[in-house]
Amino acid sequence: MLPVVGGDLEVPLVGGGRARHANLDYAASAPSLVTVAEQVAQLLPYSASVHRGAGFGSQVCTAVYEGARAEVGRFLGARRDDAVVFTRNTTDAVNLLAHCVGHTAGRSARVVVLDLEHHANLLPWSAVRRRVVAARPTPEETLDALATELRAEPTALLAVTGASNVTGERLPLARLAALAHASGARLFVDAAQLAPHRRIDLAGLDVDYLALSGHKLYAPFGAGALVGRRDWLDAAPPYLAGGGAVREVTVTSVAWADAPARHEAGTPNLPGAVALAAACRALGALPADALVEHDEALRHRLVKGLAGLPDVRVLSRWPAATGISSTGTAATGTSDTDTGVGAPVGVVTFTFAGDRAAGAATDLAAAYLAAEHGISLRAGRFCAHPLLDQLGAPAGALRASVGVGSSAADVDRLIEALDLFLTSGPRWRYALGPGGWAPTPDDRLRPDWAASVPASPGLAASPCGT
C-alpha cells in the first residue's frame, strides 16, 4: 500500500537459509515509510540550531520544525487555536498532560479512566486523583458506566484509548466527548494505535486532547506529540525547565513562554518532528477509504485464518459488538465521526486453548515463528496487564498487527507457520532463559555492522512489551 524501509528485507533462519521478513508487529513499532527516510536524509545536511541562529541552516531548520508542527495539526484535524507540543512518545505526552492537569485543576482534580487502558494511559494519572472504572460486558453498558461516574463527582478529564493495543477494539469518540462535556469534563484520547489505522478529526469529534507516537506512525523512534487546547498547557509550569521555554530570565525570576515552546525546553528532536510530519503527510494523502479498506481486509483475513486453526482463541473484550466469532467474521464498522462502535483496527491478539495453553506456549511460538519462518509477532502482556487479566490471559498472549506495508501473503505465511507449530511442533530446539524462549543453538548471524554487539537473544523479550 505504501513502501516501508525494510519492506524487502531478508532475515536468516536457524539451520541456514533466509526468508523475506514478514513483519506483523506494527503495533509495537512500525517501520519508517520510505518517504519519511528520504525527508530526514534531505534535512540532515542543513543541521543547525532551531530558533537559535541567524545562519541559513538554522533558518531552514526552524522553518521545517514549525512546518512540521502545522502538518501534524492538519493531519489530526486540530482547531486553529490548539497547541501541538512535540514529545518523545505517547507516554511522555500523557505525563505532560497529567502534569498540566495537576497544576491547573489542582492535585485533587479527578481523572476517570477505564481498566482496559495501556499502562501509558493508566499510570501517569496517579499524579492526580485517578478513578478507574471497570469496563462492562458491552460497549453500551461501558458508556453508561462512564456517564454515571462522570455525574457522580466533579471530574477534570476523561482519558480513554482510541484503539486497544491488545484487541484493536474502539469506543465511539464523539459520544465519549459528549459524555465528558455534559459533565464539565474534558476528553483525552491515547491515539497511539488509532492514528496509524484511521483518520482522526479532533475538531469534528470534539476531542480536547490527543497523544500519539511517531514510532507507531511510520516514523523513527523518539518523537511524539500532544495536541489540544492550549489553556491548560499555558497555565501549567513548564514540563521541563530550560532554554527555549522562556521569554525572559533574571537570577531571581523567569517569564515563561506560552505553549508549545513552554513545554519544549532544550534543543528539540528536529529529525523526529520532521519524520513525524512526513508520515502524517503521506498518510493524509491516501484516498479517504484506502487505509480503512486495507486494514479491515487484512484483519478479516487474519481472524478468519486463526479461526481455522486448532486450539486458537482470539481475544476480544466485546466479541458480540466487534464481530469476533468462531468463523472469523469481522464487524462492519462505522467511521470515527459516527456514534456507533467502529470495526476494530488491525491488531489481533490470541492465545492457545486446551493442552497447548499450559506453560509459555505463546512465548515459544513467537521464538519459533521468528527463528524458523522469519515472521515477527509480539508475545507478552503488551503493557496492558489489567486487560490481559480480564481476557483470561494473565501469563500473556501472542499479538499480530498489520499496517500499510503488510500484505495478504504475510498473513497467509503466519497462518501456515502456526498450523505447523500446532500440528507438528518446532523442528529446532529451544531453551527457556531469563528473557524467554530462544533457539539453541542460535546460528543466525547478525549483520556485519551489528556483529560487535554481544548476542543476548533473551533480552529481546519483556513481561510487559508495548
CA gap 242, 267 in Å, rounded: 10
Residue indicated by cell numbers 545562519: 55
Q: Please state the length of the chain.
A: 466
Q: How far apart are CA 389 and CA 238, in angstroms?
A: 37
Query: What DSSP element (H or E) covers 42?
Result: helix 34-43
Give CA–CA dist 380/397, Å, rounded: 6
Distance in angstroms (rounded) separating the CA atoms of residues 253 and 248: 8
| HSE-CB of 271 using CA atoms within 13 angstroms | 17
Q: Which residue has the cell 486487560?
A: 387
Q: Are 262 and 256 in contact (CB under 8 A)?
A: yes
Q: Which three cell numbers stand for residue 367?
A: 521464538
Structural contact between residues 308 and 125, judged by C-beta atoms closer than 8 angstroms: no
Beta strands 430-433 and 436-439: pairing type? antiparallel
Q: Give the separation between CA 179 and CA 326, rounded to whole angstroms.
A: 34
Report the first-to-last Cα separation within the chain, whole angstroms. 25
In angstroms, the Cα distances linking 244 to 81, 93, 94, 190, 278 are 21, 18, 21, 27, 24
Q: Residue with C-alpha cell 470534539?
A: 206
Find out whether 394 and 282 touch, Cβ atoms under 8 Å.
no
The set of cell numbers assigned to 288 is: 479517504
Q: CA-CA distance, 166 to 403, in Å (whole number)?
A: 15
For residue 168, give the nearest of 141, 192, 132 by alpha carbon.
Answer: 192
Taking 3-state DSSP, the helix, strand and coil percentages for the chain, each rounded to the nearest 5, stand at: 40, 15, 45
Residues noted as catalytic: 383
